[in-house]
Amino acid sequence: MTIAPRIDAFTPEIAAETAALRARVARVIPDVEWPAFAPDIAAINRLKREKNAVILAHNYMTPEIFHCVADVVGDSLQLAQRAAETDADVIVMCGVHFMAETAKLLNPTKKVLIPDMAAGCSLADSITAADVNLLRQKYPGVPIVTYVNTSADVKAASDITCTSSNAVAVVESLGVPKVLMIPDEFLAQYVATKTKVEIAYWKGHCEVHERFTPDDIARFRESHPGVVVLAHPECPPEVIAASDFAGSTAAMSNYVRDRQPGRVVLITECSMSDNVAVENPDVEFIRPCNLCPHMKRITLGAIRQALETLTHEVHVDPAVAGPARLAVERMLAVPMPKS
């Protein structure tokens, strides 16, 4: 049975209850939009307390989610680490399916919910466990390093996972001359520029980052002199070469916080700039907009419904949960280099 989303009135009580949050996001959410968000925000924050739930939100969530209902925000690695640690009864993953699956792998006794089951990922869809088994035959004895943007089945068929923030450290931790990185061709090519380890790779792409071009960067530099260009490592190599810095979503956010560039452009998903802008009022953000349609399936209405009905629960097939967990735990044991 589908439950129709509830539309509550923006009462003076709701306005008062959400006033501090309204002030926090004033720079990125127009006044006209707030009455549509505030009732769901108030309801979600009450439901979290009632159900002993924690909301983990990826850096690509829209600002009303990221700043107004999330308990923990971050990149894929940070969300996995915090999912492993939480003692809440319910984890609501505001991100895509592989992130919820990773949370379930690391904290299997908790109820892990995703507000929309269809929130997938083009990288995760680009490879299957059967492909990985064929790659093992093609590259005998070569360790398989798998981006977390994959299904639990694919993780289970791999040796270790990585994220965009620890990929170089994970590859070098293996102490071998060659590894196979799957499924993101561009992340693998980026890592190859940072290590002497030989990298073989699969040709999966992120549908959001593969669309950026060096011409986009040239246009930003021409129209906004002095702009600092930060790119995600899922971008094509020519885009990274034309940028000033490449790093995970958390690394980009930290760069802005720590270096306070006068003008910056984040070559990544749209919502990142809004979220980072809230905490950096003196930085001017140039905002290219490539939306991740999967991340954008997560809305306040869907989160509220997930908490009210305790759906949609994410399960991992017990046959793959053990080896998939091992691959993720091996990654979490790799020390992160100081940035």
Q: Which residues in this chain contact ligand 13P in the complex, by CB under 6 A?
A: 59, 75-76, 149, 163-164, 206, 232, 234, 248-249
Are residues 41 and 57 in contact, defined by beta-carbon separation less than 8 angstroms?
no
In the complex with ligand SF4, the residue whose CB is nearer, 131 or 284, is 131
179 vs 270, beta carbon nearer ligand SF4: 270
Residue 294 Cβ vs ligand SF4, minimum distance, rounded to whole Å: 5
Query: Considering the complex, what minimum distance in angstroms separates the CB of residue 296 from ligand 13P?
Result: 13
Partner whose binding site includes residue 207, from ligand 13P, ligand SF4, none (CB under 5 to 8 Å by kind) = ligand SF4
CB of 43 to ligand 13P, least distance (A): 28
| Closer of 34 and 190 to ligand 13P (Cβ) | 190
Listed in sequence order, the residues at least 6 apart from 3 whose beta carbon sits closer than 8 Å to its beta carbon are 305, 308, 309
Contact 57, 73 (CB under 8 A): yes
Binding site for ligand SF4 (CB under 6 A): 96, 121-123, 149, 206-208, 234, 269, 292, 294-295
Structure tokens at 129: 């466990």
Residues sharing a CB contact under 8 Å with residue 111, sequence separation 6 or more, in sequence order? 89, 90, 91, 310, 313
Residues whose CB is less than 8 angstroms from the CB of residue 320 and which lie 6 or more positions away in sequence, other chains included: 129, 152, 153, 155, 156
| Helix orientation angle between 318-332 and 97-106, rounded to the nearest 10 degrees | 90
Residue 76 touches which member of ligand 13P, ligand SF4, none, C-beta under 5-8 Å by kind: ligand 13P
Place of tokens 């439950």: 3
Whether residue 51 contacts residue 74, with contact meaning beta carbons closer than 8 Å, is answered with no
The item of ligand SF4, ligand 13P, none sharing an interface with residue 294, based on CB under 5 to 8 Å by kind, is: ligand SF4
Give the H/E segment covering residue 225: none
- Report in angstroms how near the CB of residue 50 gets to ligand 13P at its nearest: 30
* Cβ 215 to ligand SF4 shortest distance, Å: 21
Residues 6+ apart with CB under 8 A from 213: 236, 238, 239
Neighbours of 218 (CB within 10 A): 11
Residue 122 interacting partner from ligand SF4, ligand 13P, none (CB closer than 5 to 8 Å by kind): ligand SF4
For 75: left if phi > 0, alpha if psi spans -120 to 50, otherwise beta; the answer is beta
- Which CB atom, from 206 or from 231, has the smaller least distance to ligand 13P? 206
User: Cβ 60 to ligand SF4, closest distance in Å?
Assistant: 6
Q: Which lies closer to ligand SF4 via its Cβ, residue 208 or residue 320?
A: 208
Residue 82 binding target from ligand 13P, ligand SF4, none, CB below 5 to 8 Å by type: none
Q: Which is nearer to ligand SF4, 126 or 305 (CB)?
A: 126
* The two structure tokens encoding residue 211: 């669309």
Nearer to ligand 13P, 59 or 150 (CB): 59
In the bound complex, what is the minimum distance in angstroms from residue 249's beta carbon to ligand SF4?
Answer: 9
Cα 260 from Cα 315, distance rounded (Å): 42
